[in-house]
Amino acid sequence: MAPPAAVAFQRALAAYRSRQWETARTHCKQVLKVQPKHADALNLLGIIAMQNQDPERAATEFARAAAVDPQNPEPLHNRGVALLHLRRFSAAVESFDAALARNPEHAHAHLSRGNALVEMHEYARAAEAFSRVLDLGPDNTAALHNRGLALLHLKQHAAALVDLDRALELAPDYASAHLNRGNALVGLEQHAAAILSFDRALALDPACVDAYNNRAIAACALGEHAAAVESLTRALELRPDNAESLFNRGNALLGLRRYEAAIADYDAALVARPQWAEAHANRGNALFERGLVEAALRAYDTAIEQAPAGAQAHENRGIALRTLRRYAEAIESFDRAIALRAGAGAGAGAGAGNSALPGMRLQLKLQLCDWRGFDADLREITSAVERGELVTTPFCLLALSGSARLQRLAAERWVMAQHLAPSPPATWSSWNSPKIRVGYFSADFREHALARLMAGTIECHDRSRFEIIAFSFGPDTQDELRHRLGGAFDRFIDVRSRSDREITELSRSLSVDIAVDLGGFTEQSRPRIFALRAAPIQLSYLGYLGTLGAGYMDYLIADEILIPAASRQFYAEKIIYLPSYQANDAKRRIADRVFSRAELGLPVTGFVFCCFNANYKINPTIFASWMRILAAVDGSVLFLYSGHPTAEANLRAAAVLHGIDPRRLVFGGALPGPEYRARYRTADLFLDTLPYNAGTTASDALWSGLPVLTQAGEAFAGRVASSLLQALALPELIVANPADYERRAIELAKNPARLADLKSALDAKLRSAPLFDTAGFTRNLESAYAAIHARRVAGLPPDHIHVVGNPELGT
């Protein structure tokens, strides 16, 4: 006969297998009354406790079993599992290690040990544990999945994908493996494939909130924000208070430009997690986009309080401060962001963190005319651009470097960083409209330099041949110019609240033939509209003075002065050459008001040089030339734009360093357009800047009768004034180098008769020269539009276009 303990234990096992937990427990107790050190009964009591959701008691029973049977690894493994349930991860690992000391080939102990290490965020050690399981049995599905998960945390996405694919070969309906496979694909930026994996996970587990969340993240990466909102709304139906889903939906709504709804979701997420720095920061982004810059600044400050090492929040804070013209504070924020990125191991120097901050920071210093360390900073930035690093926005570089080659490199790097790769070629329907539909896209259809130039051209378009549509994504300022433009277009569509994809789809639905980007990489521009392909032909004009370096932009409008044939290699687009580049409005008004020198703070006598370019276009080199000119012309003064009190103080201090009385610098503030142009009549000669010339400012000065002296640079932005002067047949005001620039300015100041002849020549040409012939310019522009449209209809690719009365196709 079997002894009583053995009989009772067999009864306990039978009851356990029949899921009669209490009966099994009673039999185990009977065993232990007879044989208190019955290891199997103690172990089974632990297992029963786990079934009863009592891991604390289970851990105690497993420990007793291990103590009475020290060579058996099972109680130690089971104790580790109980401790894992109790989230006592370090103790669990110790228990698993003890089990493995007894049996190094205990696959379940290696697997459970890996799970505990994952919970401890020790992913490399976890991956090693799972690898040990797979050494013992290569087809262990759980080990493949869990090693894939650990590798995901280690950012080893390709290796993770291999493991997860193998797990799914063994278990095709493994929902978690499909979920994590999607996560690996997101890490590899294969977002469309990731969405398919998330969809498979949801088909197997329709209540998987993580799959909805991560599917939405992939959709956002593809620009499919509406689909992301749909996924996240479903996640929130399953778990309404899920902070991650609220946060992610806020991000998707931000992408859709539904700022109020995004703010509401961020607020809800912050109720659940009040100290969530990223949610505060993204809430700040939504507030900033709504124009609530002060409120955005407070949100960034809160984010920084919660996570002081968050470089992005410091960067966004700097951008908000820049918008508020608090430039010195903005520079401090940028400095902090750069230091944090460098400290995080992203590398030292200008390229730290692979962000555009160094260039933005240096441009801000130019806004303040703070040139301390300028040459060293510029060398570092240009060297980093040469190395292919992202250290500046393309727009900032226009004022920093006159190299057309560097500007193209910076633009191409920016396009890559912003994920602006062109969409696959679209199939365009062959609509047979009698008119060519031209869409103008801009944030600046309002009182703005660009709109002042373009208004007349929009009005002069030939409506028998062209249909002209405005896509406006800037503020509705309700100013005079906004109202004028609103009536000038055939259709004026306010698309501020629409996403990039929605605008693209709208443009396509309207059968736009030619999409004209008037913004490029300037503030509030929307380049993704063009990356998504708003029209079969896309071109860049006027707002951004350089190449976009982007495969989605077909043409760039210029003239032979701006882009000589030898310089085409530095432009990604094909060039449309007009006889004269810049649109101008012949209706531009000049006030009748006659300013006295005294009321402007100018001396009653003496030569007045002036430059009303923005402060960021002034650099130490051009300022040194100006000071040498003032030194050579007794009694002369320099009349400058009053951009910022700190800039004025810095310029005066710089004048002293050059030996010039700071009182010879006079500053004029902003005025309404007609009065601003009338003020030019108090000056004698406009001195242009380099590497970023005057544009609208130069044509305003010329329209007011003031000669503009310019030095021709290499890149587009440094040749604009030369283009204007050539269109006025005034080449004597274009020089090739700094020495000639200074010499010509001094000669004109000391030779009143010669200057008077120049002014007379300018006055005589204002009404007849191509520069201010709005109707003639518009006809040339329309010839270009007709030529590029004809090429497309004929199935020909873009090519350089020369407009000389009639277009000549090709080069």
Cβ neighbors of 557 (< 8 A, separation 6 or more) are 539, 540, 541, 542, 575, 576, 578, 581, 781, 784
pLDDT digits (tens, 9 = 90+) for 376-417: 999 999 999 999 999 999 999 999 999 999 999 999 999 999
Residue 807 has pLDDT above 50, yes or no: no
> H helices of 69-171, where?
73-85, 89-102, 107-119, 123-136, 141-153, 157-170
What distance in Å separates the CA atoms of residue 365 and residue 369, rounded to the nearest whole number?
6
The count of other CB atoms within 10 Å of the CB of residue 579 is 18
Please write the tens of the pLDDT for every residue from 621-656: 999 999 999 999 999 999 999 989 999 999 999 999
Q: In angstroms, rounded to a whole number, what is the distance separating the alpha carbons of residues 318 and 297?
A: 9
Using CA of residue 195, residue 201, residue 206, residue 212, what is the dihedral sign? negative
In CATH, what is the architecture of 274-392? Alpha Horseshoe (1.25)
Does the pLDDT value for residue 809 go beyond 50? no
Per-residue DSSP letters for 605-632? SS-EEEE-S-GGG--HHHHHHHHHHHHH
Q: Which residue has the tokens 């278990």?
A: 171
The stretch 446-460 carries a mean pLDDT of 97
Q: Which two tokens stand for residue 294?
A: 């002060």
Confidence of residue 349 (pLDDT cuts 50, 70, 90): very low
470: phi then psi, degrees, rounded to nearest 5: -100, 130
Could you name the CATH architecture of 4-238?
Alpha Horseshoe (1.25)
Segment 251-280 shows an average pLDDT of 97
Residue (of 493, 485, 494) closest to 459 by Cα position:
485
**Cα–Cα distance, 222 to 297 (Å, whole number):** 29
Residues of CATH 3.40.50.11380 domain(s) within the chain?
A: 436-577
Is the pLDDT at 353 greater than 60? The verdict is no
**Residue 808: predicted pLDDT:** 40
**436-577, which class in CATH?**
alpha beta
**Residue 578: pLDDT over 70:** yes
> DSSP string covering 35-66, please?
-TT-HHHHHHHHHHHHHTT-HHHHHHHHHHHH
All residues at 6 or more sequence positions from 101 whose CB lies less than 8 Å from its CB, including other chains: none
What pLDDT, on the 0 to 100 scale, is given for residue 3? 60
Predicted local distance difference test score (pLDDT) of residue 422: 83
**Which residue type is seen at 482?**
R
Give the pLDDT confidence score for residue 4 in this predicted structure: 81
CA-CA distance, 782 to 804, in Å (whole number)?
12
Residues above pLDDT 90, as percent of the chain? 93
Lowest-confidence segment of 90-99, 150-159, 801-810 by average pLDDT = 801-810
Residue 360 backbone dihedrals phi, psi, to 5 degrees: -65, -40
Give the confidence band of 343 by pLDDT, cuts at 50, 70, 90: confident
- Stretch (H or E) spanning 190: none
pLDDT at 103 over 60: yes
Which residues are registered as beta bridge partners of 576? Answer: 557, 801
Segments of the chain assigned to CATH 1.25.40.10: 4-238, 274-392
Q: Which two tokens mark 384?
A: 């980093």
Full-model pTM: 0.89
Confidence band, pLDDT 50/70/90 cuts, at residue 431? low
Give the whole-angstrom CA distance, residue 74 versus residue 296.
Answer: 58
Q: Quick one: pLDDT band at residue 149, thresholds 50, 70, 90?
A: very high
For the chain, give every residue range classified as CATH 3.40.50.2000: 605-772
Q: What is the model's pLDDT at position 767?
A: 82
Cβ within 8 Å of residue 799, ≥6 positions away: 574, 791, 809, 810, 811
The Cβ of residue 84 has, within 10 Å, a number of other Cβ atoms equal to 22
End-to-end CA distance of the chain: 107
Residue 806, helix vs strand vs coil: strand
Mean per-residue pLDDT for 669-674? Answer: 94
CB 42 within 8 A of CB 58: no
DSSP assignment of 214-275? HHHHHHHHTT-HHHHHHHHHHHHHHSTT-HHHHHHHHHHHHHTT-HHHHHHHHHHHHHH-TT
Mean pLDDT estimate for the chain:
95
**Residue 605, phi then psi, degrees to nearest 5:** -125, 165
Q: Name the class of domain 605-772.
A: alpha beta
pLDDT band at 697; cut points 50, 70, 90: very high
pLDDT exceeds 80 at position 432: no
Q: What is the pLDDT of residue 350?
A: 41
Question: If pLDDT is split at 50, 70 and 90, which confidence band does 421 have?
Answer: confident
pLDDT of residue 811: 34
Comparing C-alpha atoms, which of 226, 213, 135, 154 is closest to residue 179?
A: 213
